[in-house]
Amino acid sequence: MNKARRKELQKAMDLLDEASSIIEACRDEEQEAYDNLPDGIQESEKGEVMGEYIYQMDEAIDIAESISNILAEITGA
pLDDT tens-digit profile of 62-77?
Answer: 999 999 999 999 998 7
Determine, yes or no, domain membership for 61: yes
Cα 22 from Cα 42, distance rounded (Å)? 24
Is the residue at 16 inside a domain? no
For 28-48, how does the pLDDT look when each residue is reduced to its tens digit (9 = 90+)? 999 999 999 999 999 999 999
Would you state the pLDDT for residue 11?
96
Domain assignment of residue 70, yes or no: yes
Per-residue confidence (pLDDT) for residue 60, from 0 to 100: 98
Which residue range(s) make up the domain with 58?
27-77
Q: Count the neighbouring beta carbons within 10 Å of the beta carbon of residue 51.
A: 15
In a domain, 7, yes or no: no
Asked whether residue 72 is assigned to any structural domain, the reply reads: yes
Task: Confirm whether 8 is domain-assigned.
Answer: no
The number of domains in the chain is 1
Classify each residue of 26-47 as buried b or exposed e, where b means 16 or more C-beta atoms within 10 Å of its C-beta: ebeeebeebeeeeeeeeeeeeb
pTM of the model: 0.88
